[in-house]
Amino acid sequence: MYRTIHAEVSENGQIILKEPLQITGRRRAVVTILDGVGDDDNDGGNSQQVLDLLNSPEFFGKPQHSPEEIETIINENRNAWGE
């Protein structure tokens, strides 16, 4: 099984894993070197972008619906495609 995980490689070649990795026994690995790490890199990835969006004025204060109401809205929209 192949897995991809985020890591950084230091100037002396040390690999620093940026997420947990659990393996049993020795494994082979292929390391792909990407563009340099800068101060503007966001280790939060997409999750940070989603949090920023959810905290933005566009979403702040929007009404929240119960799961039943959400299911009703989804079904109404799903059924609208048949019209």
DSSP assignment of 60-82, as one string?
TT-----HHHHHHHHHHHHHHTT
pLDDT in tens, the chain (83 residues): 678 888 888 889 999 998 888 889 999 988 888 887 765 555 556 777 777 887 888 777 777 888 899 999 999 998 887 75
The C-alpha atoms of residue 31 and residue 9 are separated, in whole angstroms, by 9
Residue 53: its H or E element: helix 45-54
pTM of the entire structure? 0.41
Which tokens hold the place of 66? Answer: 């119960």
Residue 38 to residues 8, 31, 46, 69: CA-CA distances in angstroms?
A: 11, 19, 17, 44
CA 10 from centroid of its chain's CA atoms:
24
